[in-house]
Structure 1
Amino acid sequence: MRQMIDVAEQVFSARGYAAASMDEIAELVGVSKPMLYEYFNSKEGLLLACIQESRAVLREVTEQAMVGATSAEDALRRGLLAFFVFIRERRQAWSLLRHEMALIGTPAAEEVEETRRQQTDLIAALMSGYFTGDDDLQAEAAAEFVVGACERLAIWCERHEEVTPEMATGYAMDVLWAGLRGRAR
């Protein structure tokens, strides 16, 4: 199953969802097309599995990165670096998450939005642990800004191969931390 998801991620990323074929994926994995359908029910089911896998890995790497943080700034920097490393090292997974416009109105688009909500919830929870005040709406709004800004910066990084994850993290921190600094304990 892991191999099927990995190969499908490669094919979806290279060809796009619409042009990807279950025949090609099955051939590359070395299984029959009916075997893919047995596991995933449909091409869309396979795409959903790919997105869900990417979301799980992204959550794990960002959560693990923040373990041991000594301050709000340190936690944010660690989480951002984990995100930018993820998009650099897992380009195909990132490609699936960012090409949602072709998926509008499908369950796959809902899965991509769930990834955003996951990261927003994670950042809002982080903020509640390190920031003053009990305004949950403000923490959630700030988390939405972080997710949106980092998503756009990640897309920009694709056009600028020379920008390392560390550089992207620095750029993000320069802008984001300026607005968040005043709320830190």
Structure 2
Amino acid sequence: MPRAERERQMIEVAESVFAERGYVAASMDEIAEQVGVSKPMLYEYFHSKEGLLLACIAESRAELRKVTEESVAGALSAEDALRRGLLAFFVYIRDRRQAWSLLRHEMVLIGTSASEEIEATRRQQTDLIAKLMIGYFDTGSPLRVEAAAEFVVGACERLAIWCERHDEVTPERATDYAMDVLWSGLRERAR
């Protein structure tokens, strides 16, 4: 099997085990067994359990950025861009529950490189939202744009956690809830 394909397989299995058991309880032995490789091979690819976790988080972050950027391409207005981006995020967390679980369970990871990677994911989304805001809104100062983008990321993260407790809330419904609150505060600034 080509190295890239094997690495992807290892990351998929590790993501599943980390999400199911938690990082601390997950074992490299179990991951290796489920992948069908030796434990030393996992270490050869990722150097440590934390290295494997970092690879999982990096993969999730890259995918989240890709779906978010693709969703807003061709948006016709600020409202359309916001709605498309929100929907992409809520679809992502529904379809990639295990990846989302890794991104949101940071408390056990504080003090590790993984907590820095999770914050880098937030920063990525904040930067993307700020960039979009500059294109669609009369934004004022760069500090105000960054603050608004942080608010959107934080609010959506909390709403996503709430959605986990309410299976009946579809990504479309979550998007509507977020738009009700967020768009009312941003509408006046739209160009």
TM-score (norm 1): 0.99
Question: Which segments of 5 or more consecutive residues in structure 2 lack a partner in the other structure?
Answer: 1-6
Q: Residue 22 of structure 1 corresponds to which residue in structure 2?
A: 28
Task: Report SS of the residue matched to 1:166.
Answer: helix
| Match among 66, 80, 91 for residue 74 of structure 1 | 80
Number of positions where the alignment pairs a residue of Structure 1 with one of Structure 2: 185
| Match among 136, 150, 160 for residue 156 of structure 2 | 150
**Is structure 2 residue 105 aligned with structure 1 residue 93?**
no
Q: Residue 136 of structure 1 corresponds to which residue in structure 2?
A: 142
Which stretch shifts more, 132-141 or 151-160? 132-141
Could you give the per-residue CA deviations for residues 8-32 of structure 1, whole angstroms, max 9, x where no partner exists? 0000000000000000000000000
Offset at 1:99?
A: 0.1
Which stretch shifts more, 133-142 or 58-67? 133-142
Offset at 1:135?
A: 1.3
**Is structure 2 residue 93 aligned with structure 1 residue 104?**
no
CA distance in 2, matches of 1:152, 1:133: 24
Task: Report SS of the residue matched to 1:19.
Answer: coil
Are the equivalent residues in 2 in contact too, given 1:7–1:29 (CA < 8 A)? yes
CA distance in 1, matches of 2:139, 2:131: 13
CA distance in 2, matches of 1:146, 1:134: 17
CA distance in 2, matches of 1:145, 1:134: 16
**Is structure 2 residue 185 aligned with structure 1 residue 165?**
no
**Is structure 2 residue 189 aligned with structure 1 residue 180?**
no
CA distance in 2, matches of 1:69, 1:134: 22
Offset at 1:132?
A: 1.2
Could you give the per-residue CA deviations for residues 132-171 of structure 1, whole angstroms, max 9, x where no partner exists? 1441111110000000000000000000000000000000
TM-score (norm 2): 0.96
| Match among 89, 99, 120 for residue 114 of structure 1 | 120
CA distance in 1, matches of 2:72, 2:163: 23
Task: Report SS of the residue matched to 2:100.
Answer: helix
Could you give the per-residue CA deviations for residues 62-118 of structure 1, whole angstroms, max 9, x where no partner exists? 000001100000000000000000000000000000000000011000000000000
C-alpha distance 22-173 of structure 1, shift in aligned 2 (>3 A)? same
| Match among 47, 56, 62 for residue 56 of structure 1 | 62
Percentage of identical aligned residues? 80
Are the equivalent residues in 2 in contact too, given 1:97–1:112 (CA < 8 A)? yes
**Is structure 2 residue 3 aligned with structure 1 residue 5?**
no
Q: Residue 4 of structure 2 corresponds to which residue in structure 1?
A: none
Task: Report SS of the residue matched to 1:68.
Answer: coil
CA distance in 2, matches of 1:53, 1:103: 17
